[in-house]
Amino acid sequence: MAQSLSLKERQRKEREDLILQVTQEILFEQGYHQMSMDEIASRVGIAKGTLYLHFQHKGDLVTELFARRLHSFQEMVEQAMATPGSPRERLVCVLDSMLLYLSDKYAHFMYAYHNNLELASLLQAKLSQPFTCIRQGIATLLEEGKQVGEFEASLPTFVMVQTFFSVLSPLAYTHVLRENPQLTPEELSGYLKRIYFQGITAHR
């Protein structure tokens, strides 16, 4: 009985993964508004009722896609935090991971739909916990850096965290890359790191 249940659960997960894969393809081809549950079911090769057993609404599909993506990013942050090195070196690793999103379709999609009330509320509910964990990880590294004299101790950590995400948000610089084709993402990454770290480094 247990083996039969395990097989059913495995089949369910494989079908769900396929549904999400097809959803991603249609999402990037057509956008959120044009995407339909009918087409997703058709491409997967399942009945629409079967699709609804997994996801009740196309918004649920999209938020699950982004939740999985953000979970992967959260794991990268945690790996960077566990990497040997100083707090600053580990924070640079986190930043490098963040800046990979400069060319990430998911990030551009989230930016394009951040004013969509329906989708924004779904995303906020689904993604708030991973974002909180990531922010806490950044704060921990900054606190460690203060303790060893790498970062300016007089600056409030919560301000440093907010500045980290404000100054270093890849989405804030997509237009810079578009309007300055001679500038590579790697060069922009270097400039942003210089601006941020020189601004918070302790003066000796």
Do residue 29 and residue 72 come from a single domain?
Answer: no
Of 56, 72, 88, which residue sits at a domain end?
56
- Please determine, for residue 202, whether its predicted confidence score (pLDDT) is greater than 90: no
Q: 66 and 37 share a domain?
A: no
CA-to-CA separations, 59 to 9, 95, 101, 120, 151, in angstroms, rounded: 23, 29, 22, 10, 41
How confident is the model over 153-171, as pLDDT tens digits? 999 999 999 988 887 666 6
Q: How far apart are CA 203 and CA 9, in angstroms?
A: 57
More confident residue, 15 or 192: 15
> How many domains does one find in the chain?
2
Give me the pLDDT at residue 1, please: 42
Phi, psi of 201 (to 5 degrees): -70, 135
pLDDT digits (tens, 9 = 90+) for 95-135: 877 776 655 666 666 666 666 777 777 777 777 888 888 88
CATH number at residue 51: 1.10.10.60
Query: What is the tens place of the pLDDT at every residue in 10-53?
Result: 888 899 999 999 998 998 888 888 899 999 999 999 999 999 99
Pair 127, 33 in one domain: no
Same domain flag for 8 and 76 = no
Judge whether 138 and 94 are in contact, CB under 8 Å. yes
Same domain flag for 37 and 137: no
Tell me: do 101 and 52 sit in the same domain.
no
Q: CA 37, CA 27: separation in Å to the nearest integer?
A: 11
Do 13 and 114 fall within a single domain? no
Give the range of the structural domain holding residue 48, as residue numbers without chain letter: 1-56
Mean pLDDT of 177-202: 83
Instruction: Give the residue from 128, 126, 112, 130 showing the smallest Cα distance to 62.
Output: 126
**Other C-beta atoms lying within 10 Å of the C-beta of residue 146:** 19
Domain with residue 187: its CATH number is: 1.10.357.10
Tell me, yes or no, whether 92 and 51 share the same domain: no
C-alpha dist (Å) from residue 183 to 51, 78, 166, 175: 44, 30, 20, 11
pLDDT at 52 (0 to 100): 93
Cα 62 to Cα 20, 49, 50, 79: the distances in Å are 8, 18, 18, 26
Is 112 in the same domain as 157? yes
pLDDT for residue 2: 43
Q: Please check whether residues 21 and 93 belong to one and the same domain.
A: no
Do 75 and 49 belong together in one domain? Answer: no
